Structure 1
Amino acid sequence: MSPRSSAATGSSVNVAESVESVESVVSAESLESAEAPEAAESAEAAEVQEFWRRLGLPGLVDVHTHFMPERVLRKVWDYFDGLGPLTGRVEWPITYRADEDERLAMIREFGVCAFTAMLYPHKPGMAQWLNGWAVDFARRTPDCLHTATLFPEPGVETYVRAAVDSGARVFKAHVQVGAYDPEDQLLDAVWGLLAEAGVPIVMHCGSGPSPGKHTGPGPVAGVLARHPRLRLVVAHMGMPEYEDFLDLAERYGEVRLDTTMAFTDFSEGLAPFPREALRRLADLGGRVLLGTDFPNIPYAYVHQLHALERLGMGDDWLRAVCYENGARLFGIGPCPSGIDPRPSGIDPRPTRGDPVQPGLPSPAHRVAHPSIG
């Protein structure tokens, strides 16, 4: 072999070794980049679990999470990405943008014993279709509280009754996105039906992050005046009209508030909760429920828990908010994961709320306008 041939051969070997080395590095880097998000998710899950274990809880009950048909949810995400007016044109990155199976795996790894599928229409003819999807989702997702929705339209009483009869355990109403008046006469019989059945309804009725034509405490006060036993859960603590909705909760023993996005750095920058109202919130501790807006939140899930903890309301309040109040309201039984979400001393049967004494505080389916849930 000539020196030239020898050099060529050596060069060939060196190139081959270099290619193999580069491929190994690329392969390792690809594996690391694939593993990095999983490691981050596992780290957050461990932090969430540490939170509720430290409180002596079997897990969390989250009454405000979003699961809906995939094409509808992706339209919602598109709206957030587009900085639409209903989000106050605020940058709103979706932290848990993933397929349904992956999102379910995440929330279960967090240790959420029970959660909801908050879904909502923005036009007539959509609610009944969403409810049909929700029946199937509840059937294949036993740890999700069967959720239904509504819209003021002819036939609404019929399909709401059908949803209740099919086992719906909670309803969602979105006054901002739906742009309807809760006092609409088409809904009056529905509120009566839900009050009689004792089925809670989570309502986005506050004017955050952007006011709507019918948002605010006024229309809700009118509904409650006619249906005082309605189990109304005010989403987002009624942000930004916090104190007005606290007034309603103090007046009506079945009114509750969910914590969704409240007290987080994100929301405090937009609509801070008045610190002088914290004592009133403490007095309503039995009717404050954990909500998060998962997956449509611009920060980590655990941040909502830390935001509640830093209020300094104490472990008993945190235990009630993060688990006990929801377990009691929804009569939650053993968790499908094997965790029993019934701590000793907690009667899981639905209650009729805390007694209120006059004058005293008491303990075609495209989404065009989705917003904060």
Structure 2
Amino acid sequence: MSGDAEAAARTAAAVRAFTGRLGLPGLVDVHTHFMPERVLDKVWDYFDAVGPLTGVAWPITYRHEEEERVTLLRQFGVLAFTSMLYPHKPAMAAWLNSWSADFAARTPDCLHTATFFPEDGVEGYVRRAVEAGARVFKAHLQVGGYDPNDTRLEPAWGLLAEAGIPTVIHCGSGPVPGKHTGPEPIARLLGRHPRLPLIIAHMGMPEYEDFLDLAERHPEVRLDTTMVFTGFSERLAGFPPAALGRLAALGDRILLGTDFPNIPYPYEHQLDSLERLGLGDDWLRAVCHDNGARLFPPR
């Protein structure tokens, strides 16, 4: 058995021991990345080069071909996952949506994921994605460099709010601030669309408490755990211990996210990090499976 295969087997055993102890059928991971090969290669090149949006060494633990990455998630007992993908320029989102629709069609345990960018025609291709069965959208304000309040996006936000389709949105200022990151642009967006179902990626790192404020005020705002509490992220932007009680109180709106495959540690480290918080097995069951299964019920 190769070193990669041995590591995968250890992780699969560790993850299944975790879910077995909690009595869960598996995991629902709302923040995993699958995208066209040439796009993912550029993302990995960026991490390898210690790009300015990361600023730290970031080895990719699961640098494998697409089919092997899907197989790994299944071996880990992940019942549902996403193909988080995002454009960094105009005239890219519709093509990404076409790819992700095909990926979801041939990968039934992947939630049909779509994306958008502030550009002419955005309402049309978002509507087409919704009509084609998209179940979750991805927005990346840091990489895309756009304001979520751009007027060109307003019809798309209205459509998603009416349809009740969640958007996983990277809007926190971690690992470095962007022109439009932070809680204020999201607060303005929610002021116009208070029922918009947003999933705050990385719990809004490092503005954790500000995004907890928004979640407490807006019942359709959720937060995903992606990379939060891990040793890697705690060194960059530690979660404030005083806010753990608020996290426990929002236990029905916290969702497991991992950033697989683009993580610099084994998959089970995210789960271990959540367990070490000491918020209890009921909280873990809700976060790692029940909340995601309720938001994205099997079809």
User: Does residue 288 in structure 1 map to residue 248 in structure 2?
Assistant: no
- 1:212 to partner: Cα distance: 0.4
User: C-alpha separation between the residues in 2 aligned to 1:191 and 1:289?
Assistant: 21
User: C-alpha separation between the residues in 2 aligned to 1:173 and 1:180?
Assistant: 10
The equivalent position to 1:211 in structure 2, one of 171, 174, 177, is: 177
User: C-alpha separation between the residues in 1 aligned to 2:251 and 2:3?
Assistant: 39
The equivalent position to 1:303 in structure 2, one of 269, 277, 280, is: 269
Unaligned runs of 5+ in 1: 1-33, 334-373
Aligned to 1:243: 209
Residue identity opposite 1:241 in structure 2: E
User: Does residue 197 in structure 1 map to residue 186 in structure 2?
Assistant: no
The equivalent position to 2:51 in structure 1, one of 61, 84, 88, is: 84
- Which runs of structure 2 are paired with 1:131-146 in the superposition (5 Å)? 131-146=97-112
Moved more, 274-283 or 38-47: 38-47
- 1:242 to partner: Cα distance: 0.1
- Which runs of structure 2 are paired with 1:99-114 in the superposition (5 Å)? 99-114=65-80
User: C-alpha separation between the residues in 1 aligned to 2:42 and 2:2?
Assistant: 29
Q: Share of identical aligned residues, percent?
A: 72
Aligned to 2:126: 160
User: Does residue 175 in structure 1 map to residue 115 in structure 2?
Assistant: no
Matched residue SS, 1:320:
helix
User: Does residue 123 in structure 1 map to residue 86 in structure 2?
Assistant: no
Aligned to 2:64: 98
Unaligned runs of 5+ in 2: none
Residue identity opposite 2:17 in structure 1: E
User: C-alpha separation between the residues in 2 aligned to 1:211 and 1:332?
Assistant: 37
- With the length of structure 1 as denominator, give the TM-score of the two structures: 0.80
- 1:202 to partner: Cα distance: 0.2
The equivalent position to 2:40 in structure 1, one of 56, 65, 73, is: 73
- 1:189 to partner: Cα distance: 1.3
User: Does residue 64 in structure 1 map to residue 43 in structure 2?
Assistant: no
- 1:44 to partner: Cα distance: 1.1
User: C-alpha separation between the residues in 1 aligned to 2:21 and 2:268?
Assistant: 14
Deviation digits for residues 119-151 of structure 1 (CA, Å, limit 9, x no counterpart): 000000000000000110000000000000000
The equivalent position to 1:260 in structure 2, one of 206, 223, 226, is: 226
User: Does residue 38 in structure 1 map to residue 38 in structure 2?
Assistant: no
Matched residue SS, 1:114:
strand
Deviation digits for residues 89-144 of structure 1 (CA, Å, limit 9, x no counterpart): 10000000000011011010000000000000000000000000011000000000
Deviation digits for residues 314-373 of structure 1 (CA, Å, limit 9, x no counterpart): 00000000000000011225xxxxxxxxxxxxxxxxxxxxxxxxxxxxxxxxxxxxxxxx
Deviation digits for residues 185-238 of structure 1 (CA, Å, limit 9, x no counterpart): 011111110000010000000000011000000000000000011100000000
Residue identity opposite 1:81 in structure 2: D
Residue identity opposite 1:208 in structure 2: G
Q: Tell me which structure has the larger Cα radius of gyration.
A: 1
The equivalent position to 2:19 in structure 1, one of 25, 40, 52, is: 52
Matched residue SS, 2:137:
strand
Deviation digits for residues 162-207 of structure 1 (CA, Å, limit 9, x no counterpart): 0000000000000000000001001111111000001000000000
Root-mean-square deviation (CA, aligned residues, Å) is: 0.7
* 4+ residue runs over 4 A deviation: none
Residue identity opposite 1:129 in structure 2: W
Aligned to 2:285: 319
